[in-house]
Structure 1
Amino acid sequence: MTQRDMAGYLDITPVTLRNWRRDKPHLYEIVMKGFAFEEAVKKAQQNADELKALEEEFKSKK
């Protein structure tokens, strides 16, 4: 996700996001960690779905 995408998601301008990075580093860090967490959750769900599909595939081969 780009900075522009993040700003749009937060309903702020990309300039505001850059200003937070410079002027409010703790707020910026929290926001970035939130996006990173969301991405990690999506990846974990994808991995779980893939594992479930593999499990079903191997069960059907028995």
Structure 2
Amino acid sequence: MRADRAGWTVYDVATGRPVILGDVALIGISFEDADSLVNLLNVQDRESARGASRSSPAPHPVSVR
């Protein structure tokens, strides 16, 4: 998050662009709201990454005859 002219903007570090949640760009919001949203989005990102690593298919055992 970074300060902007009207308050704070929450940025997506992957794109460098403001986050859009629903149809709302997270720009010009209060520090408290921006801080809470950054924390929430980071938790969701970590959980998503954890879930993706768990759902990766395990290698299939090779049977030799």
What TM-score do the two structures reach when normalised by structure 1? 0.50
**Higher strand proportion, which one?**
2
**Higher RCO, 1 vs 2 (CA within 8 Å, ≥6 residues apart):** 2
What TM-score do the two structures reach when normalised by structure 2? 0.48
